[in-house]
């Protein structure tokens, strides 16, 4: 199929912008009306609210009708409607903690669900209720550059070049941004044999090349691709593939760093909400179906690395083998990571240029 002209990208991305501009209660493809309550809207109809992170909207837009069809087949005479809320992962977790009535949360960072566990909204055994510690798919952090890679960015070290402009989501409020910062910092620690002083200096130079932090992963993508700001976008592998292969073929390229971070997307039922509304069974089925073969195939199609090894092997050409590290293996528990790096006055604040 011939590649679309650049104008087709703007048209396509306009749809994304419209979604990004919506209030937190974005409608999924399976949504028939605005959210008011997750209880039964009509006889035989169940309504769920999935509160999720910013760039997951493309996956759940397709997953929700897939699950709705399965649910209707499994429960004759019943139907289900799933509504979506998308934004920065940690902002979304705070919204749930502050009363947003999510039946399920599908985040990109373990600490966001741990926050809800600490608030008593999610049971403390949430990660053992589902396979793979409740992580149905993974991703990693890569670079998106303009066609031809004019700045010759090959690895993390190139991001400290003078006059290079980098676009990332805010590391203090978004999982996408945190993975970007930790990927860079972990690379520097590995390159300098664990020397934190040298890693700090590397991170300081990289952050000096970031004009402004965007408020979410999709906002960062829009700034880089549609507003044509920056030389490099640091983002998730699935987001970079979605842009370079689907939205704007022949306009961007993906660069895989030599050593980068593994990002995991945990999911959980919000017990306090589902127990009150009577939606626990449906919410549990909704999450369990993420491990089904059709859902794992959908994940692979949208460039999320499936946990099903057979599905992953079938799509191996889309997922280069790369050296990755888990953040908790390098930096300790997420609670420590959040305090040291992302709290007010933490390392990100210390190393960021004063503006």
pLDDT tens-digit profile of 44-83?
Answer: 899 999 999 988 999 999 999 999 999 999 999 999 999 9
Could you list the residue range(s) of the whole structural domain that residue 233 is in? 139-263+322-351
Residue that wins the pLDDT comparison between 78 and 19: 78
- Check whether residue 112 and residue 12 sit in a common domain: yes
Q: Report residue 220's pLDDT band, with 50, 70 and 90 as the boundaries.
A: very high
Structure pTM?
A: 0.83
- Check whether residue 164 and residue 38 sit in a common domain: no
Domain CATH number, residue 344: 3.40.190.10
How far, in Å, CA of 131 to CA of 124, rounded?
A: 16
For residue 163, tell me if it sits in a domain. Answer: yes
Q: Which of 243, 213, 212 is nearest to 225 (CA)?
A: 243
- Check whether residue 207 and residue 148 sit in a common domain: yes
| Side-chain-side CA neighbours of residue 72 (13 Å) | 13
How far, in Å, CA of 217 to CA of 303, rounded?
A: 16
For residue 26, tell me if it sits in a domain. Answer: yes
- Check whether residue 300 and residue 156 sit in a common domain: no
Answer yes or no: is pLDDT of 252 > 90: yes
Q: Report residue 7's pLDDT band, with 50, 70 and 90 as the boundaries.
A: very low
Answer yes or no: is pLDDT of 98 > 70: yes
- Check whether residue 31 and residue 131 sit in a common domain: yes
- Check whether residue 277 and residue 219 sit in a common domain: no
pLDDT digits (tens, 9 = 90+) for 113-164: 999 999 999 999 999 999 999 999 999 999 999 999 999 999 999 999 999 9
pLDDT given at position 44: 86
* Beta carbons within 8 Å of 90's beta carbon, 6+ residues apart: 109, 111, 112, 115, 173, 174, 175
Overall number of domains in the chain:
2
- Check whether residue 256 and residue 193 sit in a common domain: yes
- Check whether residue 170 and residue 227 sit in a common domain: yes
Instruction: Specify the 3-state DSSP secondary structure of 99.
Output: coil
For residue 240, tell me if it sits in a domain. Answer: yes
- Check whether residue 197 and residue 53 sit in a common domain: no
Instruction: Specify the 3-state DSSP secondary structure of 335.
Output: helix
For residue 1, tell me if it sits in a domain. Answer: no
Please state, rounded to an integer, the average pLDDT across all residues of the chain: 89
Answer yes or no: is pLDDT of 109 > 80: yes
How far, in Å, CA of 295 to CA of 64, rounded?
A: 10
Q: Which of 187, 290, 280, 194 is nearest to 234 (CA)?
A: 187
For residue 169, tell me if it sits in a domain. Answer: yes
- Check whether residue 101 and residue 155 sit in a common domain: no
Q: Which of 335, 322, 334 is nearest to 138 (CA)?
A: 322
pLDDT given at position 355: 56
Characterize 206-237 residue by residue with b for buried, 16 or more Cβ atoms within 10 angstroms of its Cβ, and e for exposed: bbebbeebbbbbbbbbbbbbbeebbbbbbbbb
21 burial level (CB within 10 Å; 0-12, 13-18, 19+): exposed
- Check whether residue 111 and residue 47 sit in a common domain: yes
For residue 298, tell me if it sits in a domain. Answer: yes
For residue 250, tell me if it sits in a domain. Answer: yes
- Check whether residue 35 and residue 112 sit in a common domain: yes
């Amino acid at each position: 199929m011939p590649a679309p002209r650049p104008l087709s990208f703007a048209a396509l991305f306009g749809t994304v912008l419209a979604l990004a501009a919506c209030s937190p209660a974005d409608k999924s493809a399976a949504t028939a009306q605005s959210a008011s309550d997750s209880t039964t809207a009509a006889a035989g109809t169940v309504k769920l609210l999935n509160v999720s992170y910013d760039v997951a909207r493309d996956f759940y837009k397709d997953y929700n009708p897939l699950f709705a069809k399965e649910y209707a087949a499994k429960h004759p005479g019943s139907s289900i409607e799933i509504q979506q809320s998308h934004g920065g992962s940690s902002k979304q977790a705070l919204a749930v903690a502050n009363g947003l009535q999510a039946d399920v949360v599908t985040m990109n960072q373990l600490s966001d669900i741990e926050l809800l566990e600490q608030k008593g909204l999610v049971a403390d055994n949430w990660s053992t209720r589902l396979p793979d510690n409740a992580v149905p798919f993974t991703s990693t952090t890569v670079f998106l550059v303009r066609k031809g890679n004019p700045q010759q960015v090959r690895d993390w070290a190139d991001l400290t070049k003078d006059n290079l402009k980098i676009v990332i989501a805010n590391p203090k409020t978004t999982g996408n941004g945190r993975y970007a910062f930790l990927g860079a910092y972990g690379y520097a620690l590995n390159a300098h044999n664990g020397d934190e002083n040298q890693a700090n200096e590397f991170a300081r130079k990289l952050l000096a090349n970031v004009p402004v932090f965007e408020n979410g992963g999709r906002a960062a993508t829009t700034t880089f691709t549609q507003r044509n700001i920056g030389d490099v976008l640091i983002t998730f592998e699935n987001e970079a593939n979605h842009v370079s292969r689907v939205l704007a073929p022949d306009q961007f390229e993906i660069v895989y760093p030599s050593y980068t971070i593994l990002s995991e997307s945990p999911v959980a039922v919000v017990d306090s909400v589902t127990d009150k509304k009577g939606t626990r069974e449906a919410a549990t089925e909704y999450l369990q179906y993420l491990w089904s073969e059709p859902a794992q195939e959908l994940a692979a199609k949208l460039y999320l690395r499936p946990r099903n090894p057979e599905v992953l092997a079938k799509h191996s050409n889309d997922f280069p083998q790369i050296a990755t590290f888990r953040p908790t293996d390098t930096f300790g528990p997420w609670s420590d990571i959040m305090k040291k790096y992302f709290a007010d006055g933490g390392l990100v604040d210390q190393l960021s240029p004063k503006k």
